[in-house]
Structure 1
């Protein structure tokens, strides 16, 4: 009897061990820890790992265009009812604007409450911000912003194609071809995701090796405020929204933990876009809603980016002892409401948006962006994670309002 019990125990332990070592989350976490250690103890080698993390993100980005295009086209054409497409689109954009505006306002409020810009300014190592701002004194060009934003271009093309396809005579045959193409793309992505630990390792090693922990001390207060604000936003604002639908935010976070770890390692919410779409469908959200809301949200629902941008403007104002009137604060929020849209689609676009905002209010030196370069990389993880969670919540909310949610698949997520 004891022998049987012992064998069963051994088998259980072996099974548990096998589950752990074959879990992608485990290896991503190990890679993140290894990257931190390499960057800290061997900075030169850590910096060299930049190419590893960047290559993984570049490979993932190859899938972003086809996935956004195929999912939106299939989502719109699959609905068959253009009124439904328009209804979902209007709901999504209204939700995005309201929630992202709340994020902007919270960022401004917390920045004024804790004053992260009023710090000891000695010892700050300024860096050249010109590579990010390009020509900050030039007027902001919407045409140029659109032409340089691949995500927005694909979104527009996909929406037009999806609508046109509803009037095409051979609609069913075309949808069948697109569905097959979608399966091929996701099949290829499945194997690319096995490289996620390498991407996480490279990104984290470069970050620590390049900037080091000691250089963050003068700007530590800003980082702390940004992280705390995003934490409060996720659990108070997004948590309350989900609470209204009787869904626990903690269980949602647990459900998407692999994607959160991937974003943490790569500092890019785009890296998790394909897999989060699959998980939301498995959770119970309809494919058509996921295919329309998630890709659109990656350009129009950037909660983390909104918080970061608003806090950065106030931080720089405090750093230069610039007083902003109530009207000017409202102007900052209004400008960022517009210019922050699509900010995740272009490398360094956060600095472009900040530069255009600072130029518009004509009070804060644009050169102040150099103060943010040293810590921007460390805050990008928080931005990307908050953006991902925000888009996940948005998809659930829109699915719920459309009554297009499979309740049977919701058992592990809904509160008792």
Structure 2
């Protein structure tokens, strides 16, 4: 009887099934790669379903948050604090990536036997960065802008309460539907992982193993030391946060997309103690402006390619690269593969490192996208906590029983 009682919670836990799906996907990709590649539709299908919820959740959360603030000056204050935090931390991530790449020199490898293909075709559409084009192509930013405007206008209309009640009912319906969609998370995780292993295999990673090791290690150091230090300043443990959002981290690991976890991470941060207005503004904005993992990857990849082609970069050129990446990295939304496209744009803007070097990264970009997405998700969670605390709009944090026991 006791055994059944102890097993039942595990079998009904979504985290357990997501983990089983990831392990199963790896096994299928290794032993039956041809079949595993066909599972791509499951991973992509899950992400596409989740994307349906992104716009309405962002819109409803922000509109209800702003309309409930009362003090419109607070909206601008939160936005200014968030953008300042984003720029400081993401720039720090870029600098750390450059420093680590120069210390460990992952690009200094034997190039014999490695064929460099023409990767220029991957840069055509994104060669010239434009803020206007970025805005027009980024639905998240468009919805974010519209929601802010509607939220502000709601404070001035006569029947504000009636409109808010309708929006609140719509919010309950959307989150209720999302709850059932999340039961499909193991299927999405299985499809994404099976395709990755089946398509690329492990043998192709040997020439770029050093780069991958450096990227993963740097992101781990960034999470536990940089983000950990920021949370420690506010007397919050990074381990508590990671345990609290473990389901979202596993979903991101399986799908390689931080967007897949956006709706649920917003709900969890509210439950944890962050105010709804802060969550509604900071999290969606962070998906475009606070991509710490993508920043680390982009800076390390650029230096890696420079080392690969023996391109010498002086100090001013390195500063220029960081400056360019500060702009182009803002175009890397939380969609799988977007970081690779932004890297192509950055190399084209630099005009010194051969764009053809992108062919080297084609085989491993997918494997590093998981690390990027996970770091981005954690970074945005920390940003939301920091801004909420700075607004003195943060209730006593509730991480759940498991994380409290770990911390103790």
Do both proteins adopt the same fold according to a TM-score greater than 0.5, normalized to the shorter chain? yes
Report the CA distance between 1:347 and its aligned residue. Answer: 5.8
Work out whether 1:288 is the aligned partner of 2:277: yes
Report the CA distance between 1:400 and its aligned residue. Answer: 0.9
Q: TM-score, normalised by structure 2?
A: 0.95
Report the CA distance between 1:405 and its aligned residue. Answer: 1.1
State the partner residue of 2:144. Answer: 155
Count residues in correspondence: 405
Task: Report the Cα distance in structure 2 between the residues aligned to 1:193 and 1:131, rounded to whole angstroms.
Answer: 37
| Structure 2: 5+ residue stretches without partners | none
Work out whether 1:244 is the aligned partner of 2:233: yes
Report the CA distance between 1:133 and its aligned residue. Answer: 2.0
Report the CA distance between 1:410 and its aligned residue. Answer: 5.9
Report the CA distance between 1:243 and its aligned residue. Answer: 0.4
- Written as runs of structure 1 = structure 2, the 5 A alignment for 1:59-138 is 59-124=49-114, 126=116, 129=119, 132-135=122-125, 138=127
Work out whether 1:24 is the aligned partner of 2:20: no
Superposed CA RMSD: 1.7
Task: Report the Cα distance in structure 2 between the residues aligned to 1:200 and 1:76, rounded to whole angstroms.
Answer: 34
Task: Report the Cα distance in structure 2 between the residues aligned to 1:371 and 1:410, rounded to whole angstroms.
Answer: 42
State the partner residue of 2:5. Answer: 15
Work out whether 1:311 is the aligned partner of 2:300: yes
Q: 1:92 to 1:34 in 2, by over 3 A?
A: same
Q: 1:169 to 1:129 in 2, by over 3 A?
A: farther
State the partner residue of 1:40. Answer: 30
Task: Report the Cα distance in structure 2 between the residues aligned to 1:226 and 1:345, rounded to whole angstroms.
Answer: 18
Task: Report the Cα distance in structure 2 between the residues aligned to 1:367 and 1:265, rounded to whole angstroms.
Answer: 29
Deviations 1:270-314 (A, max 9, x none): 111111111111111111111111111111110001101111111
State the partner residue of 1:5. Answer: none
Structure 2 SS opposite 1:120? coil
2:373 is aligned, of 381, 384, 402, to 384
Deviations 1:327-348 (A, max 9, x none): 1111111111111114115664
Q: Which sits farther off after the overlay, 355-364 or 183-192?
A: 355-364
Q: TM-score, normalised by structure 1?
A: 0.94
Q: 1:257 to 1:410 in 2, by over 3 A?
A: closer
Contact 1:298–1:342 (8 Å) recurs in 2: no
Report the CA distance between 1:126 and its aligned residue. Answer: 4.6
Q: 1:128 to 1:190 in 2, by over 3 A?
A: farther
Report the CA distance between 1:157 and its aligned residue. Answer: 1.5
Report the CA distance between 1:28 and its aligned residue. Answer: 0.3
Contact 1:133–1:351 (8 Å) recurs in 2: no
Report the CA distance between 1:131 and its aligned residue. Answer: 5.7
2:249 is aligned, of 215, 239, 260, to 260
2:267 is aligned, of 248, 255, 278, to 278
